[in-house]
Structure 1
Amino acid sequence: MTPTSPSSTATTKPEAVSRRVRYVSTYTELSHRVQAAGLLRRRYAYYWSKIIITMTALAGIWVIFAFLGNSWFQLLLAAGLGAVLTQLTFLGHDSAHRQIFTSHHWNDWTSRVLAGLFVGLSHGWWMSKHSRHHANPNKEGADPDIGPSAFAFTPTIAANRRGLAARLTRWQGYFFPLALFMGLALHIASIQRLLHQQQLKHRWWEVAFIAGRFGGYITVLLLVLPPGKAAAFFGVQMALFGLLLGGAFAPNHLGMPIVPPDMKIDFLRRQVLMSRNITGGRLTSFAMGGLNYQIEHHLFPNMPRPNLRKAQALVRDHCAKHDIHYTETSFVGAYRVIVRYLNTVEHATTDPFRCPLAAQYRT
């Protein structure tokens, strides 16, 4: 047996250290360029304008609702309400990421009020879930967004399904109309979390916000509309709310590489390789709440939404310089990939060395 030479041991450790330093410095270099460009500065005029306009639209819908009275045309207002509540959810998301104010306290409570009092969602529940997603996007066992649900997002989950659920997995990509129920599912999850998580920060404030919001909402509907029309109004609003949110969140990571539980990846590649940008310009950015710039958002979560577009050129050039694949496609192209992935997820490889992601980590 040939003994290990001291020289080989001495060269291995510095190489490993050098590789780690290189990975860290790669993101640091980009971060310095973004900060030097002023892209992390607060955009108060943008956000205050956005908040005032959205709140005005919300108030306007309820004023028209009161004047319109008992009419099936109220369903048009229900659709409008679903769209406005989606925009308020995006503002709550931005505030939770500390994009709006410098003060953590202001951001935290702005998000809590927007989410709970106006939309009916738990800020505390969402923050816990979303923070884990940002830390490990598309990583099995760590990202709650790809955990077990109505859909099987990973080969492991698909392999563990039995009976009818297993048979339906090969067709699940065509079940995207279920996104119509996403809004209702988020509300139910929020209520469940508030009922069972006694240690949730500011829990009773959230209980008061959400209970007051739902109580007031249902009361107003029943005061103006008969039960059947009130139920239809609620259904249309909730369905469009879920569809718009699902349309904004689904294209960002579904169909991108799944990271095995034991794989460690540096921050830059972890965020870029598992994220997808959506083309389409300002209209797409409005409809998706800026989440069409998902790569930039994951690299700089506290970057104000209007600056994400400006950061894109810096990030894309940086990725090209360091040979990191940067994914950008159309909305239709993204859903084509998602449907194909979901329908074939049970046959997807679980060998990380056969995945394009792993090719960048071979020695």
Structure 2
Amino acid sequence: MGSEEGAVLKGDSGGKAELLNLLNKTENPVIMTCNDPMKLWGRGNWRRNRDRVNRVSENITFERVGPADLRRIALRVLDSEGIGIDPGALDALIRRNPGDLRALVKDLQSLSVTTSDHVDMAAVSELSGSVLRDSQINVFESLKRAYNSDSGLLASEAVLNSDKSPDEMLAWFSWNNQSAISNRGLEEISGAMCDSDSYLATKFTNRAFRSWYWGSSLPTQAIAAVTDSRNDGGVFISFPEFLRRGGETWRNADLIGRLAASLGTSKASFREDLWPALLAINDKSLGASEYDFTVSKKIGLSGEDHLAIFGIPKTSKVGKSILEEFGQIEEMPEKQEAPSSDKVEQSNDESQSTLDSFG
């Protein structure tokens, strides 16, 4: 039966083609919601997939409302209801709003019930103490608020309301700290960043230790402490390159699985703990060379795996040259060192451990 069995599909397939077919043939409105568009475009040539969908549809992005628009709409609602408000109370009401118009209207409705014809700071403070709204903000916006906050409390609130977990936020902090904080500031917070990473690693082994709390609080407070190292409002937040899994030039589907199996660990553990170190060892900006096969030979990589780590296509001129030299070195017999009379006679016991066995 194995010989008669056809090709087996792994996972979902044909979804985008069927979606395009539906959008081309339908005579009824179709509304699609997507939290992460990149997952819809898929891996590989995602720009082509995006353009194909956008030709038969319209992309509408929902953004949070800015403070100026919140102020304008709040004043319009209050004027229509004949209710006044103190400038400081309006500022406090807008400051605690994450950019949600519906939440703003509900707050104004609650204030109109508790006050007669004028809203003061005491009423807004009372509302803030009695209402706790569960809202999340985009990771880019939360990081901007954290880097530009005047205190650790505001920075912690921004990170707490983010749509990312402490593990992901630590990765975002580690990547963007390089551009948002000076070298001196990076040296000052390096200890806190390392501690938070080690604390997050214990969340599955020690349930009593609040690893998620300390894993997010430590880097946030450390960043808030280096106030003289931040750019005033001009922080540029970028997506961490090491989190772009699946579309990298060096990605090889079998490489990670093969290395994880040879080391007796899981793919996830190898990808998170050992893979970054392997990439750093073979990083040309750190002094590595694609013609140095020492590490690749040591861990049993093939020539194609070696090219994959460096992101070199095997069909290119450089790739063919490296593969040829890699094969020559692999076929070259190891040189046997001539015995020296000055060497101390080794023990005949094969079970005796030597320094060579730890290499």
TM-score range with shorter-chain normalisation? under 0.3
TM-score by length of 2: 0.26
Computing the radius of gyration over CA atoms, which structure comes out larger, 1 or 2? 2
Which structure is higher in helix share?
A: 1
Q: Relative CO higher for 1 or 2, CA cutoff 8 Å, sep ≥ 6?
A: 1
TM-score by length of 1: 0.26
